Amino acid sequence: MGEAAARATGLDVTVIHHADQEQTSATDTASAAATMADRGVSLILFVGGDGTARDVLSATSDRVPLLGVPAGVKMHSAVFGTTPANAGHLAALFLARHPSARLRDAEVMDLDEDAIRAGRVSAHLHGHARSPYERRLVQNAKAGSVPGETESLDAVARQVAAQMRPDHLYILGPGTTTRRVADALGIPSTLLGVDAVLNGESIGLDLDEQALLRAMEGRETEIIVGVLGGQGSLFGRGNQQISAEVIRRVGRHRIQVISTVQKLIALSTGALQVDTGDPEMDAMLAGHLPVLTGPGRTTLVRVQA
């Protein structure tokens, strides 16, 4: 569980857990984390998503600080760095006892399965972990909807649907915001998946990267995405199917972002975050993007990696 990768970097490692089988499970994660806590480590730096965060927290409670390197599909918890590089930077600051890296109680969240079945994206709080914090380097927990924003989002969705051009492919990112666009078109959609629309009709639901690239062949394509509340994530959190290669072929100028003003005001860093896994793509997306906040209203918002 990380031994080979750690040795490849030249680190001197001690193996503290041996899995019973080749394919490791949550039990192995929890056992390794508990052993680390028992040995009095200064920090557990783990790689994964919300499920891994839950497993590590369940085994360690508040005995040792936790910090996550974002590498999962779902990352709604506040224990993750905004990017893998920022997680590493924050770990270094914390271990060097730099005054800017203090500890906070960070929410460990995971998606509420009952809410998903009811057609809502809602994150459930599983507990709090002591976690290093520096405002620019870590994300906040996913925030819920703000009362009163429904009508504004519905109006924007109707506008976006009405302005879709014939024979253009539209990639709809996951979430309730983009689902409103599908609802305005009267077509099915997947709440947590990435869908494709052509001439007002769905031509693919819950598509992966390769399926998106195939659908894009020979077609002008646009991407429509929402903003992850509380974190301000644009790409790299929950929509990894819209990969750097997909974005590269679409082009920055054909990305439509939908959000409420309230959600933008609540951004802790005042900027949207991108973490596509491709530094060149992240740099290309950085700058300012127009965000649709109401019918006929756009706001220029800074984007940072």
Rounded CA-CA distance 277/241 in Å is 12
220 in the same domain as 272: yes
Total number of domains constituting the chain: 2
User: Which pLDDT does position 29 carry in this prediction?
Assistant: 93
- The CA-based angle 74-175-158, given to 5 degrees, is 165
From the list 217, 234, 233, 119, the residue with the least C-alpha distance to 176 is 119
173 in the same domain as 281: yes
239 in the same domain as 162: yes
154 in the same domain as 300: yes
204 in the same domain as 268: yes
165 in the same domain as 298: yes
114 in the same domain as 35: yes
252 in the same domain as 173: yes
Examine the pLDDT at 147 and tell me if it is beyond 70: no
Rounded CA-CA distance 134/179 in Å is 33
- pLDDT tens by residue, 3-54: 888 899 999 999 998 888 888 899 999 999 999 999 999 999 999 999 999 9
Rounded CA-CA distance 44/201 in Å is 47
Rounded CA-CA distance 202/225 in Å is 16
User: Which pLDDT does position 129 carry in this prediction?
Assistant: 94
Q: Is residue 140 part of a domain?
A: no
Q: Is residue 170 part of a domain?
A: yes
220 in the same domain as 119: no
Range of 81's domain?
Answer: 3-134
Q: Is the pTM of this model over 0.85?
A: no
- pLDDT tens by residue, 149-173: 678 889 999 999 999 999 999 999 9
Tokens 């750690």 belong to: 6
154 in the same domain as 121: no
Q: Is residue 65 part of a domain?
A: yes
Give the percent of the chain with pLDDT over 90: 65
